[in-house]
Structure 1
Amino acid sequence: MSEEQPQQQFAIQKIFIKDVSFESPNAPAVFTDGEWKPEVNVQINTEAKSINEGVHEVTLTITVTAKQQEKTAFLVEVKQSGIFQMSGFEQEQIGGMLGAYCPETLFPYAREAISDLVTKGGFPQMLLSPVNFNALYMQHQQKQAQEASQTETAH
C-alpha cells in the first residue's frame, strides 16, 4: 500500500500595490543641471507572512534613488504585494516559493509602477533590469546558514 502524495496547487489570489512613494526634492533645478547622467542605486527586499493555512502574503519592496551631481534627483519606492495560495508542498519548497518564485511573479508589476512614476515625475524612462530572485534567495539561505554555524561555534 503506497502513501499518496498530496496534489501540489499554487494560485495567485491577488496582486496589488501596498505602498508607493515618489519624491523629487530638487525639482525643478534638477532638470536644468546639465546632461542627465544619474548615479542610480536600487535596493530590493522581500517579506513573506502567513495569512492563514496555505495562504501567504509576499511583499516585494524596490527602492530606487537617482542622484545627479550629488543631489537627489528622485527617490521612488514601490511595495508590490501578492496573496498566494499553496498546498501540497514540502516546507522547504514553500520557503523557496515565498523567497524566489513569488517575488519573481511580482517583479514585472513593480517594474512597471516604477517606470510610470519616474516618467510622470518628468524623468527619462527607467526600466529595471531583470533580477534573479532564485540566486538572491540562495545567497540569503547561505548567509543564514553561516550565521547559524557561527553562533553555534561561539557557544
Structure 2
Amino acid sequence: MTDTTTTTPPPGAPTGGLARPSIIITSQYLRDLSFENPNAPEALTPGNTIPQVKVNVDVKTRALAENRYEVTLNIKGESDVADKKAFIVELSYAGVVGVENASREQVGPMLLIEAPRQLFPFARQIIADAVRNGGYPPLLIQPIDFVELFRRQVEAAQRARTQGAGDAAVPPAGPTA
C-alpha cells in the first residue's frame, strides 16, 4: 500500500500556470442622454398608424492607462409616425474596464464584444425609461449581437486600409488611443 497524491486541476482551471484573460468593469456611468419630442402632443395621440422605429448602436473604446480602457455604447433611437418625427433618443453609456492576462489580439474582442455585452442591459433600461417618460411605450431594444458588430467593424477597417483610407476605423487588434 502506498500513499500517492495526484493533483489534478479542476475542470476549466488554467493550465501551465497561465491565468485566463478577464475583464473587470470598475465603474459605469451615463455620459450623455438626450430625448427630443418635437411633435408633442400631436405625436402622442394614439392612431391607426404604426410607428416606425430605427435603432443604431456603436461601440467606441479609448485607452486610459495600461490595461485600463473606457468603453462607450452610443445608442440612437428614432421613431416616425405618419412621416412626422415622434421622438429621438440618444444615449452614451460608458464603463471603465480593466483587462488582465490578455494578449494584444484578445484585447480588441474583450473591449468590443464582452464589455458592451455587460454594459448593454443598463443602457437598454435607461433608453426604455427615457422613452416611457416622454409619453410613449418603452423602447425595448432587442439584444445585440456584439460579435457580429465587431466583425463588421473589423471588415470596415480592413476595407479602409486596402482602399488607402488610413486608420480611420477601429483596428481589429485593440482599442483606440
For 2:65, the equivalent position in structure 1 comes to 52
1:1-150 correspondence runs (5 A):
5=18, 8-32=21-45, 34-35=47-48, 37-150=50-163
**Residues 23, 115 of structure 2: 8 Å contact kept:** no
Higher strand share: 1
- Give the Cα separation in 1 of the matches to 2:153 and 2:141: 21
Number of residues paired by the alignment? 150
Measure how far apart 1:7 and its partner are: 5.6
- Give the Cα separation in 2 of the matches to 1:24 and 1:30: 8
- Give the Cα separation in 1 of the matches to 2:78 and 2:30: 19
Higher helix share: 1
The DSSP-based 3-state class of the residue aligned with 2:92 is strand
Which structure has the larger Rg?
Answer: 2
CA gap of 1:124–1:7, structure 2 versus 1, over 3 A, is closer
Measure how far apart 1:6 and its partner are: 5.8
- Give the Cα separation in 2 of the matches to 1:130 and 1:32: 29
Deviations 1:6-48 (CA, angstroms, capped at 9, x unpaired)? 6634211001111101110100011226235111111111110
Cα RMSD over matched residues?
1.8
**Residues 23, 110 of structure 2: 8 Å contact kept:** no
Deviations 1:57-95 (CA, angstroms, capped at 9, x unpaired)? 000010000011111101001111000111220111101
| Structure 1 gap segments, 5+ residues each | none
Q: Percent identity?
A: 32
The DSSP-based 3-state class of the residue aligned with 1:151 is coil
- Give the Cα separation in 1 of the matches to 2:115 and 2:22: 14
- Give the Cα separation in 2 of the matches to 1:39 and 1:98: 32
